[in-house]
Amino acid sequence: MNDLRHVLGLLELDRFRVLRAVLMASVTLAAAASLAAISAWLITRAWEQPPVLDLTVAVVAVRALGIGRGVSRYLDRLAGHDVALRGAARARERLYERLAEAGTTPALRTGDVLLRSGRDLDVVADTVVRVIIPAAVAAVLSLGSVLALALLSPVVAVVMAVAVLAAGVVAPVLAARAALGSEREASAATSDQAAAAVLVVDHAAELAVGGRLDSTIDSITDAGGRRRSAELSADAASARAVAAVPAAMTVTAISALLAGIAAYGTGAGHGPTWIGMLVLFPLAAFEALTALPGAAEHVSRAIPAAERIRSMVEEPRRGPASGAVGRGGPVSGHHRPARDDSADLLSVVALEWGPEGRALAGGPLDLVLSAGDRVVVRGPSGSGKSTLARVLAGLQPPVSGGVSAAGEDLSLLDRPLRRQRVIYLAEDARIFDTTLRDNLLVARGDAPDEELLAALEQVGLGSWVDGLPGGLNTVLEGGDEATSAGQRRRLLLARALLVPAPVLVLDEPTEHLSADDAGTLMQRICDAGPDGLFGAERAVVVVTHDRATPLQVSKEIEL
């Protein structure tokens, strides 16, 4: 709630405009309540067949209130939305100013900044017309109605006051609390579901090899079930709040009817017109409470939105890291010398990876990659080579230690930005059932055909693509089945050539090629000179089983 108050402060609401909006909305509902009371008097008085002139004033009042209600409804909508829109504009301006003054961007996913400054801020701004004004109007009208009803019957006024508190305060507050908890549960479940789905789409093969594919798919279903359960819980709480208003209205009406019958039977001097006003007036007075269940539901959305906005302004920023910290906290016993981390393409400090903290025999891994560096990782099957590759690319969290690219912790970067720093070529990445061009544009969507053909030529597929009937337009029907294992590896390597990331992590890039072709291609991958595939401006980490090919590399890592 404090976050909501804090973000509402950004709206810089004009109190005069807010009071004007509340006044116009109060006039609208007061006209409705007065219309009900006068109509009740008119109907019951007309039943007594008095002279027509006795009813003239009431008839004119009913017409005037009917017209006035429509006019005031229009004016209160103008006043309320004027306050909300002015506040939203000011809040967005203040928010952008704070982000600009910070000098760095929040450590959020790419779309989250726009989402929080757009949709979330609109949700908070809508709090003015959906919560603040309706709640103020309900308080004013309920108090006025109870006092007016007390002039007719103090007993019924007490009943109405209790009913108003139950339907207008207790029920909405309970609904808001339940909906807020459900909203957070649904949001967490949706996030878990999306993360698991992305994991399956991107790394289905790796999960299958590790025996985790079925459990990950089950987690998607479980997260969906948790989200549906949370949504049902929120709907149930909202339904109870909505039902509380007609229930309170019914209790008050029955109480008024019983009180009227009792007073009429005892000869207290009250006629049919008094009974009619006593019963019908509370029905109209409860109209002010009908907006409160919706207000409670809106609060359950506005509070998380305000929390996200405030965290965006106050959370840690992206910038040069003072040191690498693993997910388990700072690693003791490893001193990192002072240096300009932003000059390194990739920096690894005290890194341990794998399900059992698997690391080098001499201790955790420390590694610095600069432009032109080539690193080879070798080891037997099951030694953790592919796991290390995924950790270096930021696709899997380390057991301890940290990985940073250009001075930024990979764990704080969103996926698109991380792919701009480091790219990972999986051993079993997919070829899609679409054109050859589209299979390459997956790496970089704006690459021209000349660059696509050049990449294919560099990896040894030039003659193959020349022989295709449609060239780049040829559809690779069946995806992986449309190419041989060697062609598939070369095609995936062509994708890596197109990616502009300065650091590449290649997992078995020459697998399924003949020994001679594999050796030649591996030498070109590890060559940082003009004849190399990736050039001197990039750093490359290669995971391979190949021990026969002599390679000129910056570092060899043996697992």
Q: pLDDT for 178-235, tens place per residue? A: 777 777 777 777 777 777 787 777 667 666 766 677 888 888 888 888 888 888 887 8
The span from the CA of 266 to the CA of 328, in Å, is 80
CA distances from 50 to 43, 47, 490 (A): 11, 8, 100
Q: What's the mean pLDDT in 34-57?
A: 80
- Higher-confidence residue: 116 or 175? 175
Q: Are 523 and 551 in contact (CB under 8 A)?
A: yes
On whether the 341-558 domain is CATH 3.40.50.300, my answer is: yes
Residue 499 has pLDDT above 50, yes or no: yes
Residues of the chain with CATH 1.20.1560.10: 2-314
The span from the CA of 215 to the CA of 454, in Å, is 42
Residue 5: pLDDT band by 50, 70, 90 thresholds? low
List strands edge to edge, sheet with 422-425. 422-425, 503-507, 539-543, 374-378, 555-558
The span from the CA of 187 to the CA of 525, in Å, is 44
The phi and psi torsions of 368 (rounded to 5 degrees) equal -125, 125
Residue 104: pLDDT band by 50, 70, 90 thresholds? very low
The phi and psi torsions of 340 (rounded to 5 degrees) equal -85, 95
- Higher-confidence residue: 522 or 110? 522
Q: What is the sign of the dihedral through the CA atoms of 524, 530, 534 and 535?
A: positive
Percent of the chain whose pLDDT exceeds 90:
3
Q: What's the mean pLDDT in 128-157?
A: 85
Q: What's the mean pLDDT in 280-299?
A: 79
Q: pLDDT averaged over the chain?
A: 78
Amino acid in the structure at residue 152: L
The class (CATH top level) of 2-314 is: mainly alpha
- Higher-confidence residue: 391 or 196? 391
Q: Where are the alpha helices (DSSP H) in 381-532?
A: 385-392, 415-421, 436-441, 449-458, 462-466, 485-498, 515-526
What is residue 541's predicted lDDT score, i.e. its pLDDT?
Answer: 92
Residues of the chain with CATH 3.40.50.300: 341-558
What is residue 206's predicted lDDT score, i.e. its pLDDT?
Answer: 60
Q: What's the mean pLDDT in 280-304?
A: 79
Q: Phi-psi region for residue 433, left (φ > 0), alpha (ψ -120 to 50) or beta?
A: beta
pLDDT digits (tens, 9 = 90+) for 343-373: 578 888 888 877 655 555 546 888 888 888 9
- Higher-confidence residue: 101 or 96? 96
pLDDT digits (tens, 9 = 90+) for 21-34: 888 888 888 887 78
Of 251-255, 306-310, 378-382, 533-537, which gets the smallest average pLDDT? 306-310
Sequence-distant (6+) residues with CB within 8 A of 314 are none
Q: What's the mean pLDDT in 409-421?
A: 80
What is residue 299's predicted lDDT score, i.e. its pLDDT?
Answer: 80
- Higher-confidence residue: 87 or 147? 147
Residue 72: pLDDT band by 50, 70, 90 thresholds? confident
The span from the CA of 133 to the CA of 23, in Å, is 9
Q: Which residue has the tokens 């992305």?
A: 198
The span from the CA of 232 to the CA of 221, in Å, is 16
What is residue 25's predicted lDDT score, i.e. its pLDDT?
Answer: 85
The residue count of the chain comes to 559
pLDDT digits (tens, 9 = 90+) for 446-460: 888 899 999 999 988
Residue 326 has pLDDT above 60, yes or no: no
Chain-centroid distance of CA 335 in Å reads 38
Q: What's the mean pLDDT in 130-144?
A: 86
What is residue 330's predicted lDDT score, i.e. its pLDDT?
Answer: 33
Residue 552 has pLDDT above 70, yes or no: yes
Q: What's the mean pLDDT in 48-57?
A: 81
Structure tokens at 118: 């757009």
What is residue 101's predicted lDDT score, i.e. its pLDDT?
Answer: 59
Of 92-96, 134-138, 315-319, which gets the smallest average pLDDT? 315-319
pTM of the predicted structure, to 2 decimals: 0.46
Percent of the chain whose pLDDT exceeds 70:
84
What is residue 261's predicted lDDT score, i.e. its pLDDT?
Answer: 80
Structure tokens at 443: 């790496």
The span from the CA of 520 to the CA of 243, in Å, is 76
Residue 310 has pLDDT above 70, yes or no: yes
What is residue 333's predicted lDDT score, i.e. its pLDDT?
Answer: 34
